[in-house]
Amino acid sequence: MGPDWYCDEVIPGRVAVEVLAKTGRTLAFRPPIPGFGTDHVIVIPTLHVTSLLDLDDDLAVELLGTVKEVAALAVEQHGGCQVLTTLGSEQHNRHLHWHVAVGEGVARFVAR
């Protein structure tokens, strides 16, 4: 998996993924190798955007709409989910992507 697996493989259709939702500029899919959780969906812009910090407001609305669609499905099917994106040293793939994840293996925020 290269530094931008989404632009290199997913968006051009070089790898088969299960598409859950899409718009003109966004795509939500289950990765072929489960990332984490019992259900895990990735949501990306289909134009290259490096991270949340580089996302323009217009595309942000469209992208969050797709995140919302798959998150609603996860809540309906599993009762809850986590929605997260990573930045800087925490971001291993240099293409903005949101995780919508359910179940074990998802980060847990512990109340202090």
Q: What is the binding site for Zn ion (CB under 5 A)?
A: 4, 7, 48, 95
CB of 5 or CB of 71, closer to Zn ion: 5
Spatial strand order in the sheet of 39-45:
18-22, 26-30, 39-45, 98-102, 82-85
What is the smallest separation between the CB atom of 43 and Zn ion, expressed in angstroms? Answer: 14
**Element spanning 102, H or E:** strand 98-102
What is the smallest separation between the CB atom of 68 and Zn ion, expressed in angstroms? Answer: 22
Cα–Cα dist 107/59, whole Å = 27
CB of 25 or CB of 48, closer to Zn ion: 48
What is the smallest separation between the CB atom of 96 and Zn ion, expressed in angstroms? Answer: 8
